[in-house]
Structure 1
Amino acid sequence: MIALIKGESEAGRLMQARLDMNRAWADAKAMLAANMQVLLVVAGVFFFLPNAIAAVFMPSFGEVLVQIEALGPTPNPDDVLALFSEFMGRTWWIYLLLALLQAIGMLGLLALLSDSNRPTVGQALAFGVMAVVPYVVGQLIVGLAQSGAVFLPIALGASVSAGLGLLLGLVGVVAAVYLWVKCSLLAPVMAIERKLNPFAALARSWRLTKGNSLVLFAFYALIIVAVMVIGLVAQLVVSVSSLLGPSALMLAAAIVGSFVTLGYNVVKLGVLAAVHRQLSGNPGKDIGKTFD
């Protein structure tokens, strides 16, 4: 009976939870400011360096575009597919390694930002390694659901008419964005609440975001737009380096692009931690405390 009452109380509290964007942003800034030194070191290792090294040394996707352009104005679809397949066959393991490194860094930093037990950096990153496989499984589940939400309606609609396929495709895109918002707290749930079952973590994210989907979408969209603007400004800065030659341009693009990626990921983690804290009603550790 006591457990039932507690469960009903928890359900009622979650139903009443409403996200305050101003408060979440203020909490995120406070967490990031209090822990900036360690954040930058860890984020530099897991976000900046891998992206910069990959941008400089790995084969560029631009090579594929040049090869496609060389096929003429109306290239054979089979030839285009062959070029894409050959490129991915050479580089898939690099993209996988980058994704795993960034996932480990993200989970570790979320644990550092919000764990009331104040883990060391090593302990938090060890947790990131332990949690990366369940997290990837959860992301694959979300990705498959999003793909189904988009392509199944297109296929069904296109079987009737092209116009209906386009209309249902737009509906599917909206559904995919909705799924993205509803599952956006997967990483905080795993890292902060230690729920490593991907299905349970996704269900928890779904419950936490109940009644806040539109607000969360607006919040995330504002951050993405801000990053896009910063990215455009960064591209203008990089374009100046073209005066020094193609090598300087490539190096500048790699460094500046990696810095933008680092900044976006750090801000995203702070926002996710703050949103989770507010919607879960769990204050976690004091915002002003820094890492051990």
Structure 2
Amino acid sequence: MKFDLDTAWKDTTGLLSRNRGLLAVIAGVFFFLPYAALAIALPEMGDLEAAQASGNLDAMMGAINDLYASYWWVYLILAIVQGIGLLAMLALVRRRANPTVGQALSTGVKSVPTYIAAQLLQTALFAIVAGLLIGVGAVTGLPALAVLGGVIAFVVVCYIVTKLSLAAPVIAIDGELNPIRALQRSWALTRGNSIRLFFFYLLLLAAFVVLSIVISLVLGLAFAIAGEQAALLGEAVISGLLNAIMIVVIVCVLAAVHTQLGRLSDNPDATTED
């Protein structure tokens, strides 16, 4: 049986409905507060937002490089904290033993080294694949081949991202603490359903982008009316809020997809109906 988008969305909304209170608390502590505090504490974040608003790619990349060069250690801490929160939420919504919040957080702390290692391995794989595909076109000196290589690299990276998207739930829910085996398990679970899964993710991403734009415009205008300082504070609050909402939805989506594909993997003849 193939991956069913409708079943996955129903499972996602069911997880959101049953766990929204606990998920909101964890997302608030591990995502909203750190992200909003970072946006307020680092004045360079304003430069990055200005560069993004200008649409100047060179200015945006320069602002990103300056930010990470100056505060790499802050982002390392943030990555660890948010990794713990993500894994804890996954464990909370899908562990068969119905863990308490404390047990879920313990799972997050225990699993975060594996999660970070898996992320680093993915990043290295993306860099190698993209570098090879783009480099081959660039070496020829033909702009058309360089552009074609870039397009192919983008498609291949999207494919790999989809194939490895279930590494986090494999780590948090299945308890796999070997990063290589977690990536292998994700690859195996998505076999035969990669294209369907990609478009499911793409539809959700498009919906979230539209929703975030609307929320940012409405709330941003409300804060802007109160003055410049209120507008700066509002940007930080809105960014943190959208980040927390996105993570909560991602957690439920990944848990639902992992459960459905796990069921199909264990029993290929099973239906996707509840």
Q: TM-score normalised by the shorter chain: which range applies?
A: 0.7 to 0.9
Residue 244 (structure 2) pairs with residue 262 (structure 1): yes
CA gap of 1:115–1:65, structure 2 versus 1, over 3 A, is closer
1:69-218 equivalence runs, <5 A = 86-160=66-140, 161-218=142-199
Q: Secondary structure at the match of 2:247?
A: helix
Structure 1: segments with no counterpart, 5+ residues: 1-16, 68-72, 283-292
- Partner Cα separation in structure 2 for residue 64 and residue 133 of structure 1: 29
Match of 1:43 in 2: 27
Deviation at 1:147, TM superposition (A): 1.6
Deviation at 1:63, TM superposition (A): 2.9
TM-score, L = length of structure 2: 0.87
Deviation at 1:57, TM superposition (A): 1.0
CA gap of 1:242–1:163, structure 2 versus 1, over 3 A, is same
The one-letter code sitting in structure 2 at the alignment partner of 1:121 is V
Q: Secondary structure at the match of 1:217?
A: helix
Native 8 Å contact 1:59 1:91 kept in 2 = no
Deviation at 1:85, TM superposition (A): 5.4
Q: Secondary structure at the match of 2:173?
A: helix
Native 8 Å contact 1:151 1:169 kept in 2 = no
CA gap of 1:22–1:84, structure 2 versus 1, over 3 A, is closer
CA gap of 1:132–1:65, structure 2 versus 1, over 3 A, is closer
Q: Deviations over 1:180-230 (max 9, x none)?
A: 000000001011111110110100000100011111111111111111111
Match of 2:13 in 1: 29
Residue 11 (structure 2) pairs with residue 20 (structure 1): no
Deviation at 1:84, TM superposition (A): 6.2
Deviation at 1:276, TM superposition (A): 0.6
Whichever of the two has the greater Rg, that structure is 1
The one-letter code sitting in structure 1 at the alignment partner of 2:173 is I
- Partner Cα separation in structure 2 for residue 217 and residue 248 of structure 1: 39
The one-letter code sitting in structure 2 at the alignment partner of 1:236 is L
CA gap of 1:84–1:36, structure 2 versus 1, over 3 A, is closer
Native 8 Å contact 1:104 1:125 kept in 2 = yes
The one-letter code sitting in structure 2 at the alignment partner of 1:230 is L
CA gap of 1:148–1:123, structure 2 versus 1, over 3 A, is same
The one-letter code sitting in structure 1 at the alignment partner of 2:255 is A
- Partner Cα separation in structure 2 for residue 84 and residue 27 of structure 1: 37
Match of 1:7 in 2: none
Match of 1:60 in 2: 44
Native 8 Å contact 2:136 2:146 kept in 1 = yes
Structure 2: segments with no counterpart, 5+ residues: 265-274
The one-letter code sitting in structure 1 at the alignment partner of 2:104 is A
CA gap of 1:66–1:179, structure 2 versus 1, over 3 A, is closer
CA gap of 1:46–1:62, structure 2 versus 1, over 3 A, is same
Between stretches 119-128 and 200-209, larger displacement belongs to 119-128
Q: Secondary structure at the match of 1:118?
A: coil
Q: CA RMSD in A?
A: 2.2
- Partner Cα separation in structure 2 for residue 88 and residue 64 of structure 1: 11
CA gap of 1:64–1:159, structure 2 versus 1, over 3 A, is same
Q: Secondary structure at the match of 1:159?
A: helix
- Partner Cα separation in structure 2 for residue 209 and residue 133 of structure 1: 24
Match of 1:245 in 2: 227
- Partner Cα separation in structure 2 for residue 253 and residue 44 of structure 1: 16
Q: Deviations over 1:142-173 (max 9, x none)?
A: 11111222222111111112221111111011
CA gap of 1:138–1:48, structure 2 versus 1, over 3 A, is same
Q: Secondary structure at the match of 2:119?
A: helix
Instruction: Give the number of equivalent residue pairs.
Output: 256
CA gap of 1:169–1:234, structure 2 versus 1, over 3 A, is same
CA gap of 1:208–1:252, structure 2 versus 1, over 3 A, is same
- Partner Cα separation in structure 2 for residue 147 and residue 99 of structure 1: 19
